[in-house]
Amino acid sequence: MSVAATAAPFLRPPAGVTQVMARVLLALCPATLAHIWYFGPGIAINMAIAASACIGSEALILRLRQRPIGASLGDLSAVVTGVLLAFCIPPLTPWWITACGSVFAIVFAKQLYGGLGFNPFNPAMAGYAVILISFPVEMTRWLAPRQLTETMPGFPASLAAILSGKPPGAPTWDGMTMATPLDFAKTEIARLQTMPEIRADVMFGDFAGLGWEWIANWIAIGGIWMIYKGVIRWHIPVAMLASLSLCAFVFWIADPGKFASPGFHVFGGAAMLGAFFIATDPVSAATTIRGRVIYAAGIGVLTYVIRTWGGYPDGIAFAVLLMNLCVPLIDRYTRPRIYGDGS
């Protein structure tokens, strides 16, 4: 096509994609620091590994596709994918698993569809789902939070564990790892414990799991800052958290012994991360406002269903991927009424 080089409008465009991505990374900083505080420096190492793997594989594919490498890498979207993926995995995940997920996210979920803007699935979640299914043991090997352990591994020990895949300073993993609060609750409910009994366990804090709840708070603060800065709009986080809370509320009111409270669901697991940082990925989300509300509400419902009755303790990744599938349909049926088309 031939679009005239100079034509209206003549105003300079706003902050670009790179700045949007940079702000996403900035918004994630407080939660990352909280994560380091509660679970040790593993996440920082994982972020470095994942981001490097993402950048490396993106550069490689761009080269194979004969596309300009600098411009695409410069938009920081690959870094965001890596960082978000690293946020979802246990702190001492062996490096090859992290790298595996990152490479899958970039190569298969993103570049093979045409790169940024063309990927139907959220790359970070696609990568996470692959390694979660492929390496179930490593991917559930979560450390106990700072409050519950005497042996929080430092930076050298964490690095060694990640690089070797062996537990730091101990013959086995058993001493230092524990189930996540969501996992624990799920298992205990299956063992016919009541929710209040489960909540009495030491691993729980005010809203949800110790450590987890505060990471979730910092994620929410980062997310609200992104809304304030116009990086994301409020519809997706609000719709997703509202639908998750509503589902949780209905069942919890009906049987508080068997079902966890809305607060537990919202502040537990990756709900907050999903609401503000994952589901808000514009490329793989619905594109109309109404569509986004439906899309995000769907993620909330699916997350609740997977958490409560599914095979996994958390369901954000699968819920997001399933709703990604529905996006073309949602977009089709949520077109706004064009000006002058009658009411």
Partner 1 sequence: MNPTRIAVTPGRFHGGLKLDGHRKLASGKPITPLPLSERYFLWLAQHYGDAALPCVSVGERVLRGQVVALQEGQRGTPIHAPTSGIVRGFQDLPAPAADSSSASMLVIESDGEDRACTDLSGLAEWDCAAPETLVERIAQSGIVGLGGAVFATAAKIARAEAGVTLILNGAECEPYISCDDGLMRERANSIIGGAQILLRALGSSDCIIAIERDKPEAIAAMEVALRDAGDERFRLERIFSLYPAGGERQLIETLTGRQVPRGGLPQDIGLVCINVGTAAAIRHAVCEGRPLTSRVTTVTGPVLGAPGNFDVRIGTPVRELIAAAGGCNDPKARLIMGGPMMGIPLRDDRVPVIKAMNCLLALPESALADGRDQRPCIRCGECAEVCPARLLPQQMYWELRDERFEPARKFGLDACIECGCCDVVCPSHLPLTRYFRWGKGQLHRQTVERERAEHARQRFEARNARIGQQKAQREARLAAKREALEKARSDGNRGAAIDEIIARKKSSTAGNDDSGQTG
- The residue ranges that bind partner 1 (CB under 8 A) are 1-17, 19-20, 71, 75, 115-118, 233, 282-283, 285, 287-289, 292, 331, 335-342
Which is closer to partner 1, CB of 71 or CB of 163? 71
Answer yes or no: are the C-beta atoms of 17 and 72 closer than 8 Å.
Answer: no
Shortest Å distance, C-beta 164 to partner 1:
39
Which is closer to partner 1, CB of 172 or CB of 343? 343
Q: In which residue are the tokens 């919890």 written?
A: 252
Which is closer to partner 1, CB of 63 or CB of 335? 335
Distance CA 102, CA 108 (A): 10
State which H helix or E strand residue 54 sits in: helix 42-64
Which is closer to partner 1, CB of 91 or CB of 223? 223
For 57, the token pair is 């594989």
Shortest Å distance, C-beta 16 to partner 1:
5
Answer yes or no: are the C-beta atoms of 143 and 132 closer than 8 Å.
Answer: no
Answer yes or no: are the C-beta atoms of 235 and 293 closer than 8 Å.
Answer: yes
Shortest Å distance, C-beta 289 to partner 1:
7
Answer yes or no: are the C-beta atoms of 49 and 55 closer than 8 Å.
Answer: no
Which is closer to partner 1, CB of 20 or CB of 157? 20
Which is closer to partner 1, CB of 288 or CB of 308? 288
Which is closer to partner 1, CB of 18 or CB of 164? 18
Shortest Å distance, C-beta 118 to partner 1:
7
Answer yes or no: are the C-beta atoms of 303 and 272 closer than 8 Å.
Answer: no
How far lies 250's CA from each of 87, 256, 304, 335, in Å? 30, 10, 11, 31
Distance CA 195, CA 125 (A): 29
For 16, the token pair is 């670009």
Shortest Å distance, C-beta 191 to partner 1:
45
CA angle 294, 20, 115 (to 5 degrees): 75
For 21, the token pair is 């991505």
Shortest Å distance, C-beta 333 to partner 1:
13
Q: Which residues pair with 177 in a beta bridge?
A: 143
Answer yes or no: are the C-beta atoms of 21 and 75 closer than 8 Å.
Answer: yes
For 296, the token pair is 């995000």
Shortest Å distance, C-beta 122 to partner 1:
13
